[in-house]
Structure 1
């Protein structure tokens, strides 16, 4: 690793605009791959979407705030397949730098807005902090969409907004979470209207319960036993990518995936 400010750099090194340092990157290897940005790439569904895209030959710029996990993924996948962008999706400066770094590698073909945090409480238990926590997902979705659309010149891009079945109904102990998911759905539908008839395609993804660490702080609401009856993140990611990434002359505009209720 070279320090920033080194005058003569080999062509195989690039400057990381997010971390302010140099990293090794074989552009010739990356340039023959399609490029995706996946937010929330470190764990759960986001990790599986990332892993399976890489298996399909994609180069993934993974976004997550978990620095330790990002380091693990960068080492496991290698610099010719994965670029770790570590930061807060609701931080506009970070988002701009992250998208700029992805765009410096090549045209961004796919953006998967997957990152988000839950809050499950009875209606009277919610606080402003809970609202802010849930709204980060909506804010990040908007910021990453805006910056990626601009980076791509509003052409040849597919945006998949991963929401929840909570974006299709109201759940008793998820009022704030549902409100933000309905907001994400409204944003998704507005993007569809704005880019209808163009080479920008917008896809809404609404999965039900998934067996991940998403519920780690909510086992008073969803027991660990119940959680393990939910769909696996690998299966869910496979279904999403089957509909999302293909060479057919069509677009699946909405993907609703219900878990098997037991």
Structure 2
């Protein structure tokens, strides 16, 4: 018997790295695309992981050909994954009144949305032919409502939810499951830069364990931690004037190259 295989983008840090650790410790083999493959490979070796159980592929999720090639290389070298987790993403504040921030939005969508579809692309046919597998899109509770100064990220994560829902319908009956995981605030290098309160902040390893359980169960959509799911639902039904007033004057996500208040 061979070990199950997980293909995970964004495993160089944060949520992706926690997911890689979790799956490895559960006996899975790993396929890990990265923009800096040497650094990720060095990290894997530092964990004491046998090299027969993991492989790193050089790839940039922002470029379709790059991540598709990595997926094809995985198929050739390791076979069809049991789980593909499109986790790679970027989160940068933006101001639409500033022209260069439109480029920030374009790159955010290229990574968080087009990059997700390109990550899944090489595996859909082989998984469908095999009759099983899971394609996992990592969204965010930021998909629920637009946050001031965070338009690119919120739009991209709302797009992740809608895209995965569409793909789930397309693959219905094929045996291939599509799972959407929407993290709340998870303790990672990315969130440590936030300048606002982060309720129900969860350690990355706990998030990874809960996400893996949801993926194994084949749930279609799961917010982690569950408390943020309740908060998200309440925000969704909040009338617009109250929602706008609630966020008025709150600190915003830092724009690219900016660290001061905005």
Return the TM-score normalized by structure 1: 0.77
CA contact (8 A) 1:90 1:143 kept: no
Deviations 1:53-72 (A, max 9, x none): 01111111012213343122
Q: Distance in 1 between matches of 2:198 and 2:154?
A: 19
Match in the other structure for 2:187: 211
Q: Secondary structure at the match of 1:213?
A: coil
Match in the other structure for 1:202: 178
Q: Secondary structure at the match of 1:84?
A: strand
Instruction: Give 1:230 deviation, angstroms.
Output: 2.2
Q: Cα gap change, 1:111/1:86 in structure 2, threshold over 3 Å: closer, same or farther?
A: same
CA contact (8 A) 1:65 1:88 kept: yes
Deviations 1:22-58 (A, max 9, x none): xxxxxxxxx6111110000110110010010011111
Instruction: Give 1:183 deviation, angstroms.
Output: 1.3
**Structure 1: which 5+ residue stretches go unaligned?**
1-30
CA contact (8 A) 1:230 1:259 kept: no
CA contact (8 A) 1:160 1:203 kept: yes
For residues 162-241 of structure 1, the aligned pairs below 5 Å read: 162-215=138-191, 219=193, 222-223=194-195, 226=197, 230-241=201-212
Instruction: Give 1:156 deviation, angstroms.
Output: 1.1
CA contact (8 A) 2:113 2:159 kept: yes
Q: Cα gap change, 1:95/1:122 in structure 2, threshold over 3 Å: closer, same or farther?
A: closer
**Structure 2: which 5+ residue stretches go unaligned?**
229-262
Match in the other structure for 1:142: 117
CA contact (8 A) 2:8 2:30 kept: yes
Instruction: Give 1:121 deviation, angstroms.
Output: 3.5
Match in the other structure for 1:114: 87
CA RMSD of the aligned region, Å? 2.3
2:31 to 49, 61, 65: 61
Match in the other structure for 1:50: 20
Instruction: Give 1:260 deviation, angstroms.
Output: 6.2
CA contact (8 A) 1:48 1:234 kept: yes
Q: Secondary structure at the match of 1:169?
A: coil
Instruction: Give 1:211 deviation, angstroms.
Output: 1.5
Q: Which moved more, 1:61-70 or 1:205-214?
A: 61-70
The answer to whether the aligner puts 1:82 opposite 2:54 as a matched pair is yes
Q: Distance in 1 between matches of 2:226 and 2:169?
A: 29
Instruction: Give 1:129 deviation, angstroms.
Output: 1.9
Q: Distance in 1 between matches of 2:38 and 2:170?
A: 38
CA contact (8 A) 1:70 1:86 kept: no
